Homo-oligomer: A and B are copies of this chain.
Amino acid sequence: MRDAYHEELDAIGDNLVEMARFVGSAIGRATTAMLDADLKLAEAVIAADDKVDEMHRSLENAAIALLARQQPVATDLRIVVTSLRMSADLERCGDLAQHVAKVARLRYPDSAVPRELSATILEMGQLAQRLMAKATEVLITKDVDLAMQLEQDDDEMDSLHRTLFGHLLDDRWHHGIETAVDVTLLGRYYERFADHAVSIARRMVYLVTGEHADELLSEPEATA
């Protein structure tokens, strides 16, 4: 039988899952809005970030209330503190999806992204959404193997990021500086979104195993 305490803890977990689904959808829709120059969709993504901020605040309050009332120790305490951090990651992902949508709105009725880059940007957007879908799955299942997969997926994001820079720095670039600035920032937004998804997975690995993901991979480098 679940007591009130574990019900509260579960509710916090459920809210994280809901936030993760929400921001995963937001980055997908922001990417579509940008590639299709869809102003209405961009506006919708921009407005929807309020909901993420609200979920974040509400989760924080629930976590603090639980700490105060139930005074968890050991693993339960770590779960609550980790949830606070994950919520902050997700809140930031909401901001990043909003930033992508704002670039779409700024350049409307044009698309911010030149045609020869749209495949790469689409891949980055889809990968970001996939990473968040996996992070969501990790939140639900606490599956460490799945969590470790996100490290590899993030390498793919780095590789896409390099492709993007390859285009930018190609002598044949003829889209001017403004577009170069847009593309640079977009690349950064997707990269950071992915970093936060990976960070959620890493926090879960640490929570479950007590070891850092990079130690398990025996790589000395941590996320910058």
Contacts and interface: CB of A to CB of B under 8 A. Distances in A.
A169 B178 contact: yes
Number of copies: 2
Contacts of A177: 168-169, 173, 177, 180
Contacts of A99: 224
A73 interface: yes
Given A71-B71, A185-B184, A222 B169 contact: no
A95 B63 CA distance: 27
A178 B74 CA distance: 50
Contacts of A53: 222
Question: Which DSSP category, helix, strand, loop or mixed, fits chain A's interface?
Answer: helix
Q: How large is the interface on A (under 10, 10 to 19, 20 to 34, 35 or more residues)?
A: 20 to 34
Contacts of A77: 64, 67-68
A6 interface: no
Interface centre among A71, A78, A165, A177 (most CB of B within 10 A): A177
B180 A181 contact: yes
A8 to B, nearest CB: 15
**Residue from A168, A169, A181, A222 with most neighbouring chain B CB atoms (10 Å):** A181
Interface of A: 49, 53, 60, 63-64, 67-68, 71, 73-74, 77-78, 81, 84-85, 88, 95, 98-99, 165, 168-169, 173, 177-178, 180-181, 184-185, 188, 222, 224
Given A84-B84, A84-B85, A184-B184, 15 more contacts: A53-B222, A60-B81, A64-B78, A67-B67, A71-B71, A71-B73, A85-B88, A99-B224, A168-B177, A168-B181, A169-B178, A169-B181, A173-B177, A180-B184, A181-B184
